[in-house]
Amino acid sequence: MQQVGELHRGVLTSGAADQLAALVARAAHAPVGLIHFVQGGKLRLYGGYGLKIPWEDVADTPLEDSLAGLVVSGDAPLVIDDVRADDRVPADSLESNGAYLGHPIRDQTGAVLGICCAVDEKPRQWSAADIASVAEAAQVSTLLITEQLNRYEIDRQRRFLDAVLDSLHDGVTACDDEGRIVFVNERMRKLWGESGLSDETLDQLTDADGKPIRRADLGLFRALRGNHVADAEVVLHGQHGRSRHYLVDAHPIVGPDGNTVGAVQAVQDVTRRRRVERFRTCELAVITALAEAPSIEAAGPRVLESVVSTLDWVHAELWLVDKAAAVVRSAARWSAPGWQEDIETPVDLPYGTGLAGRSWQVGKPLWIRDVGQPQSLISEETAMTSRLHTALAIPVREGFETLGVLTVFADTVEDPEDELLALMSGIAAHIGQFVEKRLVEDLQRQLIRTKNEYLALVGHELRTPLTSISAYTELLREADEKSLVTDGPRLLEVIERNTNSLRDIINELMELNALDTGHADVQLMPMDLAEVVRDSVAKARAAVDGAPLVIEDELPDQLMLPGDRKRLRQVVDNLLGNAVKYSPDGGHIGVTLRATGHAAELAVSDAGLGVSDDERDKMFTGLYRTARTRDKAIPGTGLGLTLSRAVVSKHHGSIELVDHDGPGSTVLVRLPLVARS
């Protein structure tokens, strides 16, 4: 069976087919020339010359109804001198008279694609030259169609290739042997602009070390010189400091003769991958810093430096919650080089105030796209002075409790990113675990120290009055009647004094144990703390009346808060008693009370021996007494401050030794003004 091919529409334009038809007619000295192609069992007229009937009447003709169909079925030229006298002519053929000369048009495989024919309106005898001319015209048609088919196939393949390249996630650029860009896929346009490599883009490119890249050093042009480039990292520095990281592969394009005819470059955006790697490095650095540090204050700067350098932001701060004062306190801060003097950070932020205080209040991350906007939680003065824009605050939590807040700032406007929020939340979780672990470890150390101090107390503070009581009792037992009359009262006075001292120690121990174990609690009722302090100061003044000691106070008329009046009076008496005990003659004792934000602050200062920095934290644990106190043989058990700490803690407050100008020390008590659960 004869193989019949079909020609795709668009391979040969109608203008070219008409010229071929005219060539056939002139070559055969005929008035009409036609070019038919086979399509779907029909003959489609592509080109015509000298037609006197409407084109649409002969545009599509069934193969069986035309003389051209005989050429296709016979796979040979068809020569008819008189159409009416030839019985091969189909009954419904449009060629009902005249003469017909047709020759098949084949492709390179020999399949019939169409028919090249000459038609005369009158019967005639076709000469050998006419037949040869039409055959040559058919061969010319074959050559022209073959060329058109090749072009069509090349165009089709190019369209497929373009579609494939445009669908890639990698950007692709190609150049010719002169270095002119000849192809840029859609992804490349999105990565580096419409041309794929503009001068503006080139000015923003550096290598992985930050060194600017010259045009000749780009992978595409290195490949044009015969080099093969694999995984060369380049960085595109965009506006506002935003950078994109890319890996570049480039290879030369070699022609059939072995010469380089161009080069192709593939660019892969690895910004996300690099970001993930940096995030992992940051988290590892944070974990390492926490593992090696004795406290969060020591680890804080290293943690914040890792965060800032990883994010390419400019400033970070770590805040720790002080529930008693209802503030978050600055524990650490770190700024990128060049920013240290630009950012002013307050020491404390009240609950619900500022970015850190607000994040503590709402208990969730806060992303401020631009702190310079009116609705920002950062003051306009701070934002303008520091040139900050984006800010992020992440609560530092352990379980359901907020222990602090981590804040970071950028000098560019950034939109929220889930990956970044996840990283910062993870780092905040590590910090929260560290803080909680240190609190537990401190508590364990305090318990061990308390146990040892209790043993020391039993061994010394309790034994001393017991020894005295026993000795004086023995003296009374051995005294005669005269001695009992003369010395008895004095001996009994000593026994009574030691008995009372022993009773006070035991009572304080029992009360401290009850508070620590929860067997005793405080009764929070509305009370006037100013009145309690005023009464305690009056009592202390009466006790030192006549002594060269001055007690100065600065108290409000009234300061109401929820508290246990009896136990808070005990705290104030302890603090004033210590101040009197440790102040030298002629010294001054200062007592101040004020409301600051959400807390009441009571400060008691003395001009006594003072407390060294390394002993401050120990003063409120167990039965600790400073070395100076022991050296001076000042009496006491060290239970007063410990008991005060327990009472203040039950009020959800805090007590600490703070910086003091000159000799002596200052104890600061903070109590919340509003009841807390």
- Confidence class of residue 629 from pLDDT cuts 50, 70 and 90? very low
> Measured between alpha carbons, how far is 52 from 94 in angstroms, rounded to an integer?
12
Q: CB under 8 Å to 568, separation ≥6 — which residues?
A: 527, 529, 532, 647, 651, 671
The percent of residues above 90 in pLDDT, for the chain, comes to 19
Q: Which carries the bigger pLDDT value, residue 360 or residue 641? A: 360
Is the pLDDT at 399 greater than 60, yes or no? yes
Same fold, 14-162 and 170-269: yes
pLDDT on residue 40: 76
- Confidence class of residue 460 from pLDDT cuts 50, 70 and 90? low
Q: Which carries the bigger pLDDT value, residue 613 or residue 600? A: 600
Domain ranges of the chain: 14-162, 170-269, 275-440, 460-517, 525-672
CATH superfamily label, 170-269: PAS domain (3.30.450.20)
The pLDDT mean for the chain works out to 80
3-state secondary structure 557-621: CCCEEEECHHHHHHHHHHHHHHHHHHCCCCCEEEEEEEEECCEEEEEEEECCCCCCHHHCHHHHC
Phi and psi angles of residue 490, each rounded to the nearest 5 degrees, phi first? -65, -40
**Are the C-beta atoms of 139 and 229 separated by less than 8 Å?**
no
Q: CB under 8 Å to 430, separation ≥6 — which residues?
A: 283, 286, 287, 290
Q: Per residue in 125-142, pLDDT tens?
A: 999 999 999 998 888 888
Q: Per residue in 17-39, pLDDT tens?
A: 888 889 889 989 999 999 888 88
Q: Per residue in 318-377, pLDDT tens?
A: 998 887 677 888 888 888 887 755 556 667 788 888 888 889 888 899 988 877 654 445
Q: Per residue in 34-68, pLDDT tens?
A: 988 888 778 888 888 998 877 777 777 788 878 88
Q: Highest-confidence range of 412-421, 501-510, 609-618, by mean pLDDT?
A: 412-421
Q: Tell me, yes or no, if the pTM score tops 0.85.
A: no
Mean pLDDT, rounded, for 433-459? 63
- Confidence class of residue 504 from pLDDT cuts 50, 70 and 90? low
Single-letter code of the amino acid located at 582:
Y
**Are the C-beta atoms of 479 and 473 separated by less than 8 Å?**
no
Phi and psi angles of residue 572, each rounded to the nearest 5 degrees, phi first? -65, -40
Q: Which carries the bigger pLDDT value, residue 545 or residue 226? A: 226
Mean pLDDT, rounded, for 301-310? 87
Q: Per residue in 187-205, pLDDT tens?
A: 888 888 776 677 777 778 8
On whether the 14-162 domain is CATH 3.30.450.40, my answer is yes
Q: Which carries the bigger pLDDT value, residue 332 or residue 607? A: 332
Is the pLDDT at 627 greater than 50, yes or no? no
Mean pLDDT, rounded, for 610-616? 54
CATH superfamily label, 275-440: GAF domain (3.30.450.40)
pLDDT on residue 451: 57
pLDDT on residue 345: 60
**Are the C-beta atoms of 72 and 104 separated by less than 8 Å?**
yes
CATH architecture, range 525-672: 2-Layer Sandwich (3.30)
- Confidence class of residue 251 from pLDDT cuts 50, 70 and 90? very high
Q: Tell me, what DSSP letter sits at residue 434?
A: H
